[in-house]
Amino acid sequence: MKQTQVKFVFLPDGTITEEVLGANCDSCAAITQPFEASLGAVTGTIYKPEYYQPCEVSVAQQHESESLIE
């Protein structure tokens, strides 16, 4: 399994930036949500190219989706 890291930078003006490393698809949003809820208001979001990559779907998830369609 791929390791995911969250990098925080605390700036002198009190601004905190975060960067998710090792995640693709929209998984970064779920990873950072608890931190953002604790730290306060989000003033902006910049998505890296990895955000726009297709999500990997496991075989179990694919079968579950197919059974819902039938």
pLDDT of amino acid 53 = 86
Who contacts 1 (Cβ-Cβ below 8 Å, separation ≥6)? none
Q: Which pLDDT score, from 0 to 100, does residue 70 have?
A: 53
Mean pLDDT by 10 residues, the chain (70 residues): 85 91 86 89 87 73 50
Spatial neighbors of 25 by CB under 8 A, at least 6 apart, are 50, 51, 53, 54, 55, 56
CA distance 28 to 53: 12
Domain boundaries, the chain: 5-69
Instruction: Identify the H or E element spanning 35.
Output: helix 27-39
Q: Which residue has the tokens 């999500």?
A: 55
pLDDT at 12: 96
pTM of structure: 0.65
Q: What is the pLDDT of residue 63?
A: 47
Residue 23, pLDDT score: 86
How many CB atoms are located within 10 Å of the residue 51 CB? 16
